[in-house]
């Protein structure tokens, strides 16, 4: 296996050899710091027998560590030029499988751990697709710092919202480290952060799509009280009497705003909505 590009000089040279430039439409910012690469690898906690899914391997800076761990590695890459590069770099490694395509569309293999540097525009869709379709023990994603702060925010704060609730219902979420722009090429305009997700072994007893729509309705008009936001969202279909009954059964005061309730509160509320036969717009 040849040496993959990790440093700024190596990444620039590899891209020049391929005759390509980083593409904004795919959110390409290549990691160029070995210390950060090694930090991510350690925090993922790779063990013998793991099946790893890497989203957006790029030029293989982290991939090489994953492959050398002897775990089974599946990498999803959308860029055809980078796919050709990766095929060459990891030729002959029977523990490496490359899946060319969009991570939101390709069939994902079952994996024990998932890792990736996620472009802003697909961060939430990727996280929810993995949570709803797979059963990983750990996920480790690099995301924009602003998104990371929303992911870990608690009730009552300005960053707390629908994304916070939906992820925390499923996982314990940790912001591990803020990453400055200079550890990537090209440099993004904002800071990034490494976030680790540890899914709960007990899956919620409410369909994820239903819970997501209930939470969306609650936060759609976040300056309003919860009951008024739910009534005015156009998402939730049930009588006002049933709405009041569900709120009371869940132990929730509908006169408060959505941002004051915990993920567990929303799970209880969704459960009561199902019980009274509420319908939601998908």
Residues in the chain: 282
Neighbouring CB atoms inside 10 A of 185's CB total 21
Query: What whole-number distance in Å separates Cα of residue 81 and Cα of residue 141?
Result: 23
CATH no. of 8-199: 3.40.50.150
Query: What whole-number distance in Å separates Cα of residue 6 and Cα of residue 12?
Result: 10
- In the chain, % helix, strand, coil (3-state, to 5) comes to 45, 20, 40
Q: What is the pLDDT of residue 282?
A: 66
CATH 1.10.8.100 in the chain, residue ranges? 208-280
Q: Do 242 and 277 meet the contact criterion of CB atoms below 8 Å apart?
A: yes
Sign of CA dihedral 73, 122, 154, 192: positive
Q: Which two tokens stand for residue 227?
A: 């009951």
Q: What is the pLDDT of residue 203?
A: 78
Q: What is the pLDDT of residue 236?
A: 86
**17: three-class secondary structure by DSSP:** helix
**CATH topology for the 208-280 domain:** Helicase, Ruva Protein; domain 3 (1.10.8)
Interval 225-256: pLDDT, tens: 999 999 988 888 889 999 999 999 999 999 99
Query: What whole-number distance in Å separates Cα of residue 7 and Cα of residue 25?
Result: 23
Q: What is the pLDDT of residue 5?
A: 83
**19: three-class secondary structure by DSSP:** coil
Strands 138-144 and 192-199: antiparallel
Q: Do 273 and 238 meet the contact criterion of CB atoms below 8 Å apart?
A: yes
Mark the ranges of the chain whose per-residue pLDDT is less than 50.
none
Q: Do 123 and 150 meet the contact criterion of CB atoms below 8 Å apart?
A: no
CATH 3.40.50.150 in the chain, residue ranges? 8-199
In DSSP terms, which residues pair with 257 in a beta bridge? 225
Query: What whole-number distance in Å separates Cα of residue 55 and Cα of residue 85?
Result: 16
How distant, in Å, are the alpha carbons of 57, 152, 232, 235 from that of 160?
30, 8, 21, 21
Q: Do 196 and 138 meet the contact criterion of CB atoms below 8 Å apart?
A: yes
Strands 279-280 and 192-199: unpaired
**35: three-class secondary structure by DSSP:** helix
Q: At what angle do helices 123-133 and 208-219 cross, to 10 degrees?
A: 150
Query: What whole-number distance in Å separates Cα of residue 68 and Cα of residue 93?
Result: 9
Contacts of 25 (CB under 8 A, 6+ apart): none
How wide is the angle at C-alpha 161 spanned by C-alphas 272 and 221, nearest 5°? 80
């Amino acid at each position: 296996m040849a040496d993959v590009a990790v440093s700024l000089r190596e990444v620039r040279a590899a891209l020049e050899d391929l005759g390509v430039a980083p593409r904004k439409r795919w959110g390409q910012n290549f990691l160029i710091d070995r210390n950060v690469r090694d930090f991510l690898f350690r925090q993922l906690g790779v063990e013998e027998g793991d099946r790893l899914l890497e989203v957006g391997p790029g030029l293989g800076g982290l991939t090489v560590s994953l492959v050398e761990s002897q775990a089974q590695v599946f990498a999803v890459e959308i860029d055809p030029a980078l796919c050709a590069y990766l095929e060459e770099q990891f030729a002959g490694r029977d523990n490496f499988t490359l899946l060319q395509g969009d991570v939101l569309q390709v069939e994902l293999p079952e994996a024990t751990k998932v890792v990736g540097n996620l472009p802003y525009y697909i961060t939430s869709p990727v996280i929810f697709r993995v949570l709803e379709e797979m059963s990983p023990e750990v996920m480790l994603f690099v995301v924009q710092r602003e998104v990371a702060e929303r992911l870990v925010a608690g009730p009552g704060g300005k960053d707390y919202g629908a994304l916070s609730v939906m992820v925390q219902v499923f996982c314990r979420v940790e912001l591990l480290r803020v990453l400055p722009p200079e550890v990537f090429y090209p440099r993004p305009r904002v800071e990034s952060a490494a976030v680790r997700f540890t899914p709960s072994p007990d899956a919620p007893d409410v369909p994820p799509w239903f819970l997501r729509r209930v939470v969306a309705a609650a936060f759609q008009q976040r300056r309003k009280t919860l009951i008024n936001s739910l009534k005015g969202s156009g998402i939730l279909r049930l009588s006002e009497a049933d709405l009041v009954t569900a709120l009371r059964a869940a132990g929730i005061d509908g006169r408060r705003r959505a941002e004051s309730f915990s993920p567990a509160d929303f799970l209880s509320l969704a459960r009561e909505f199902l019980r009274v036969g509420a319908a939601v717009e998908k």
